[in-house]
Structure 1
Amino acid sequence: MKVVNLGVIEFSEADALMREMQKQRIADEIEDTLLICEHPEVVTIGPKARNDGIQAPADYLTVDVDRGGGLTWHGEGQIVIYPIIHWNQVDEANVSQIIHKLEEWIITALSEHKISATRDERMQGVWVDGHKVASIGLSFLRWVSRHGFTINVDTPAGRVENLAACGMSPKTTTSLNALGHEVKEVEIIDSLLKKSGEVLGRNRN
């Protein structure tokens, strides 16, 4: 599996890249690839949020997307990982299993930093100390994914907390540092890559 760090990139640029790479992966022109990045502040709005009439406050830039889920905040201090992966292993027979695997990957990586994280079977994502710190939303074509997941590490105070993300009440979603878990983005990324073979069954090149 190839790993590409895009640095800070506008969501629109990353979205165009994901769409092209998904086509290339379907055609077997590229290998499974992880795109790692950070976006300038923007709130992506999935179909569920649009259907439920959930909106971001007026001072947030928003963009409609076609992944699963509701509102997702992006911005400084957040890890964004987009897996352009052909999910074809025996334990990847449906979307729920794939999301479960991604949740387990995040939980395992956080445990490397003595952070106890859990999942909630009622909704996708990863939780720490009763707060949601990681969101997952995917889009599939022929079992190749785009979009992906976010981990809030050290986000600006109040920005992600002000949103009714994924239909939850404000202040449910927050960052690791806000919860008192002092860890750096690069450290979590390193742990994710370290555990990719064990949890995803795909080793980085």
Structure 2
Amino acid sequence: MEARAQGGTLLRRLGLRDYSETYALMRDFTASRDAAAADELWFLEHPPVFTQGQAGKPEHVLAPGAIPIVQSNRGGQVTYHGPGQAVVYVLLDLHRLGYGARELVRRLEQAMLDTLAGYGIAALARADAPGVYVERDWPGGVTEMRKIGSLGLRVSRGCSYHGIALNVNMDLEPFERINPCGLTGMRMTQVAELGGPASVTEVVRSLEPCLLNNLGLASH
């Protein structure tokens, strides 16, 4: 595990980590932190897992097969995590930063949009469905909107945890076993498919400053 400070924020590189273990660490960190605790961003990947949001509906899990399903307390419906996906958990004191959960969602979406724009990938956010999407003509003559970045948060005592997942270069098939984020028929895409890097490490290198700037952590 690599950790380094950026201003008043601690950036941790956790590598490939079990979801349930990381979820427990996030809850413990948030429950024990005080007003003096530094904010942290955790960059990692997960082995294959479906995660269900607190109010997740079981009918959105269609055919999980052997991939485990873990219930969590984040917002949103079911999603999939797997190797080749850049996951970032944002453990922030929102009182100290001066904005709330809705603004945090906007800033996280913008960080992903800025990162993708750096690769020439035109993406968008939707007011009705958190996350980041790409609408374009796809091979085969299909014009549709596909999802590339997901988002789910929990705020406790003014402090956030959980975060974002940006698809980089992963097996997208497991997303077909669910309605991703509760969106029936939503197909997924990823950075490598759209001409960007196939390396999670390289994408995280671009994503990191976009997160720090958008979250107000660059000089925090």
Give the TM-score normalised by structure 1. 0.89
- Length, aligned pairs only: 201
In the alignment, is the contact (CA less than 8 A) between 2:64 and 2:178 conserved in 1?
Answer: no
5+ residue gaps, structure 2: 1-8, 136-144
The CA distance in 2 between the partners of 1:182 and 1:37, in whole Å, is: 17
Matches within 5 A, 1:149-160: 149-160=164-175
- In the alignment, what sits opposite 1:81? 88
| CA pair 166-33 structure 1, distance change in 2 beyond 3 A | same
Residue matched to 2:49? 42
Per the alignment, do residues 58 and 183 of structure 1 end up closer, same or farther by CA in structure 2, a change over 3 Å counting? closer
Offset, 1:49: 2.3
Counterpart residue number, 1:124: 130
Distance (Å, rounded) in 2 between the aligned partners of 1:134 and 1:170: 16
Cα distance in 1 between the residues matched to 2:153 and 2:70 = 16
Higher alpha-carbon deviation: 158-167 or 8-17:
158-167
State TM-score, norm by structure 2.
0.83
The answer to whether the 8 A contact 1:24-1:30 is kept is no
Residue among 167, 171, 176 paired with 2:182:
167
Q: CA RMSD for the aligned pairs?
A: 2.0
Contact persistence 2:130–2:150 (CA under 8 A): yes
8 Å CA contact 2:175–2:188 kept in 1: the answer is yes
Contact 2:17 2:47 in 1 (8 A): yes
Identical counterparts, % of pairs = 28
The SS at the match of 2:14 is strand
Structure 1: tracts of 5 or more residues without a match: none
- Name which one, 1 or 2, has greater alpha-carbon Rg: 2
Q: Are the aligned partners of 1:47 and 1:68 in contact in 2 as well (CA < 8 Å)? A: yes
